[in-house]
Amino acid sequence: MTYGIREPERTGRTAVSGGRHLGWAEWGPEDGAPVLFFSGAAMGRSLAFGADSLAPSARGGVAARGVRLIAVERPGIGVSDPDPARTLDGWAADVAAFAAARGLGPAAAPAVGFSQGAPFALACAAAGVVPAVAVVSGQDDLTHPAFATLLDPYLRGMLEAIAADPAGFAASFEPTADAEGLWKLIVSTSSDTDRAIYTDPAFEPRYRRCLDEGFAQGPAGYVRDLVLAMSPWPFAVEDIRVPVHLWYGGRDASTVHSPDHGATLAARIPTARHHLLPEAGGSLLWTHAAAILTGLLG
C-alpha cells in the first residue's frame, strides 16, 4: 500500500512579510484546484497525502481540474525562515501573503490541517483567508474547560507549565526536542491501528524523513508551534463562518489530538460537519484521503 504518498513534484520558497520566506512542496496538476496543507508537529514539506487522488477525472466540477496540493512549512520548520515571536494570527497573515504571492487569489484555496496543524488551519478560517477547512485528527484548544478531566496527566502538566511561563517552558523543552524523540513519542502513544501504518516500510522512512526536515534548523520552530497550539487560541472558533469538516478516527489513541474526537469542537463551530470513523485511527489522513478532499472541495 502506498498510502497516497510520493515525492514532491515541485518545491520552492515564497516571500511573505519582513523579508521572510515559507517553504512549500506541491503535487498534482499546476492548474488544479489548490488545497493548502498544514501538516502535524515538526513535519516538513515532503510527506504528501492523497497523491493518488489528485489527477483530473471525468466526474466534472472541481474533480475535472484535479487537485493541486500545496504543503506549506510553518516558520522555523524545514526551509521556512524562523519567526520567533509569531502567533496564530500571524500565521493567518503569512498564509494570505503566501496565497497572493503564488497567485492563488484571496480566500481561494481551502486548507487541510492535520494534528497540530489544526489550530493553524482554524486560525486561517477565523481570519477569512481560506474558504473552507478540513481538520484531520486535529488538536482542539486543550485549555477549554470541557477537557479539564480528560487530559493525560503529563499533557496537563505541560499545559500548566506553558500557561505559567511560555518562554521558560520553551527554553527548558528545546534541549530535549529532536526528530528521534518525537518519532518515539508518536509510535509509543499510537493505537495498534496507527502503529501498523506508521511503522509500515512503505510509510515509516517517509514520515521519519519529514520529521528530520522539520528539525533541520533545530527545535525552536517546533517548540514555538507547541506553545502556540497549547496556549489559549487568540480567536474564537464560535465566530468561524466558513465550512469546517472535522475528521476523526475512533481508534485514535493520541493524547494530543482532541480528547473527545472532535465532539466539543464540532459543538462550538456553527459551520462544522463532524465525521467520526469508528474503525479508523489518527492516521486516517493517509487511509481516507479521497473522502477528505471530496468533502472539502464539495
Give the pLDDT of residue 107.
Answer: 86
pTM: 0.96
Q: What is the CA radius of gyration of the chain?
A: 18
Q: DSSP class of residue 232?
A: P
Long-range pairs for 101-104 at CB < 8 Å and ≥24 separation? Answer: 101/14, 101/15, 101/16, 102/14, 102/70, 104/34
CB 277 within 8 A of CB 128: no
Place of cell 489522513: 285
Give the pLDDT of residue 169.
Answer: 97
Q: How far apart are CA 275 and CA 118, in angstroms?
A: 15
Give the pLDDT of residue 61.
Answer: 53
CB 296 within 8 A of CB 35: yes
Give the pLDDT of residue 59.
Answer: 60
Place of cell 517546533: 222
Q: How far apart are CA 64 and CA 182, in angstroms?
A: 39
Give the pLDDT of residue 142.
Answer: 95
CB 121 within 8 A of CB 38: yes
Q: How far apart are CA 79 and CA 89, in angstroms?
A: 21
H helices present in the chain, as ranges = 88-101, 118-127, 153-164, 166-173, 179-188, 192-198, 204-214, 220-229, 263-268, 284-287, 289-297
Collapsed DSSP state (helix, strand, coil) of residue 292:
helix
Give the pLDDT of residue 63.
Answer: 59
The DSSP annotation for 67-136 comes to: EEEEEEPPTTSTTSPP-TT--HHHHHHHHHHHHHHTT--TT-S-EEEEGGGHHHHHHHHHHTSSS-EEEE
The predicted-structure confidence for 196-239, as pLDDT tens digits, reads as follows: 999 999 999 999 999 999 999 999 999 999 999 999 999 999 99
Tens of pLDDT, residue by residue, the chain (298 residues): 789 999 999 999 999 988 999 999 999 999 999 999 999 999 999 999 999 989 886 565 555 679 999 999 999 999 999 999 999 999 999 999 999 999 998 888 999 999 999 999 999 999 999 999 999 999 999 999 999 899 999 999 999 999 999 999 999 999 999 999 999 999 999 999 999 999 999 999 999 999 999 999 999 999 999 999 999 999 999 999 999 999 999 999 999 999 999 999 999 999 999 999 999 999 999 999 999 999 999 8
Domains of the chain are 10-297 (3.40.50.1820)
